[in-house]
Structure 1
Amino acid sequence: MATAISGMDIYAPVFKVKRNGEEYPPKESILNIEIDEDLETPAMFRLSLNEEINIRTQQFRWLDDDKIKPGTEVEIFFGYATSKKQGMMKGRIKALTPGFQSTGNPTLSVEGYDLSHDLQKTAKKFTDTEVTYSTIAQDIAQANGLSAKVDPTEITHGKVERIKNEMDYDLLKRLSNEIGYEFFVRNKELYFREPKDNIKGDFTFEFRKNFINFNPRMTAAALVNEVHVTAWNVKDKESISESARINDIKSSVGNPDFDSIIEESQGARVDVKIEGRLVRSQKEAKNLAKAELKRRNKGFIEGTLECIGDPMLRPGITVNIEKVGKRFSGVYYITKATHSVGDAGYKTTITVRRSIL
């Protein structure tokens, strides 16, 4: 089992930005660098460059550089000198923000997004009849020049249509939410998969050992013990109903006390009517109910953890947080991660939710 970065490694963080395979801009010109990753939105990066002025030509080195402009594709690496650097992300520059002060050198902030941001502007063709959602994800990945990392989905849908003005990103986000999947792009790979939140983590954090701070919050205000879904059965031309209860979505790494917690907090049943959604079987309706039940309960325990920077801590994996009391010790799923390198060294901040089910 892996543990967080420790030892002499923490004194030698390294990073690199590449354009067309070469290091550019050079690291000595970069003041700080930050990457924000989120399972719900495109990942974002920010670079702060120390600007220079050519005394003879009076041109700015970076602001006037044609290689650094909106649309330029870059690759960013984080890591440590004594271990292999981890490729963090591939993305495109979207914005340049210079800063001019009366004293000192100007600065240039370079901002951009990962390649999923491009999918917010495309609406590619896909197989739309007698099709599974996983096939649609594969079609859209291929049409956008991405490789697909897709978990198969079982249900075949007679017809799948876009909502008016719906781009590829929003389409895949909607489809993934319907069935309890997650969708994101990492480097040049499109992921459409079941959340990997039901397994013990490869990283272990312990109080007063290897994290800087951990701030969890438990709330039972919105817990529900059952979801009842009603949709339209296109095959039989009638409404179809199904329910999902807590036992339908439990896992081996969940909170063992969740049943009693939800009972004592008077977790209620929720009735959900799926407007405009066509289903073909009880199984499909059951899957909708299970996805909705899990979505409504996943915010039971959430928190943030800050630690010495580790490029392996990414959204979509689990970590073990231990020795923080019985209620808060356990397996957590990373939903967001911020990696930053600057004068203060390399830090990682993750947003997590407890794997309660």
Structure 2
Amino acid sequence: MIRQANFQTISWFWDLHKRQLLDLDPPYQRRSVWNQEYKDYFIDTVLNGFPAPAIFPYQEITPEGLSRYSVVDGKQRLSTLFEFANNEFIVSEKATVAQFRGKYFKDLDPEVKTKFWSYQFSVEYLPSSDEKIINNIFDRINRNVAKLSPQELRHARFDGVFISEAESLTEWMAGVLPPNFPSIAQRSRKQMKDVELVAQLLLLIEEGPKSYSQDDLDKAFSDRDQSWDLKEETIDAFKNTIRFLAELLQVNTGDPNLARSRIKNQTDFYSLFGAIHELLQSQQMPELGDVAQRLQTFLQVVEESAKREQYNLAKAYHEAARSASNDAGPRRARIDIIKDVIAGKFSLKSTA
């Protein structure tokens, strides 16, 4: 591959951005992941004239003769610069140069602004218009960056049916279930761990509970990238399960309610999802209120070590959730136990 490189100023990128000729969100880009600390540090780098990594754009010439650029690598840097130039945040109080601290861009002296606009990046233009090659380049660039999660790399590599639906369903699920349910840290969400969880749930519907290494997930995404044979029925089953879960979490079972129980943990959420899906498919789901009360009683026993030891189902569930919880065996065991609980096979009057 022949590489072309030169230097371009911030003002050059800004002009493209203002004329809507710069795409910061092509399919291979990841979610915005820089927090304010990273942004502050980068602005300090630019204001001091220190070097920064190269920007990798792909150029496309339109039939109208316009050059459009898609940013393959460099989104976080450019987004931060544009936000700063739009006066969306101030220079950090920890900035190297004291006279810049606490100032918006509009408050900087004219010569400082000119220096900012004149700051140059090394720019490497990607010559191929083949999206697979661009995705591969992005993947290779970012595999050298420790902060990229495996799911972010899949987001970079794939843009077909399965990943598009997984990302869309992640947003849909967030709007149906209570806030941050299941519980996923904000940083993990930025690393697309929520999308990875949804992908695992879709695969659970298709293949039953299995253990997936990151390589296994890569293959699952790849196998379903161009076409996904079970797409319609899998999505329908996913949505039906999530809708039932949403109704279940609204049932008043006392304090704490189900939404605040351990079921919000990803391991337990996966188990409950699998159990509900299988019971809905077999049309063996009891009344909603009974399901909620049975789960609440069982989960309270699981959480209390003294009580847990008295009940075989609670003890077995706790063990399956502790060690190798993402292996196929423990996943299957937890789902089966939750199904038994929902079916009414657990009672405080027995040692089941």
TM-based fold match above 0.5? no
TM-score normalised over the length of structure 2: 0.22
Where is the strand percentage greater, Structure 1 or Structure 2? 1
Structure having the higher helix fraction is 2
Relative to the length of structure 1, the TM-score reads: 0.22
Q: Per chain length, whose mean CA-contact separation is higher, i.e. which structure has more relative contact order (CA < 8 Å, sep 6+)? A: 1
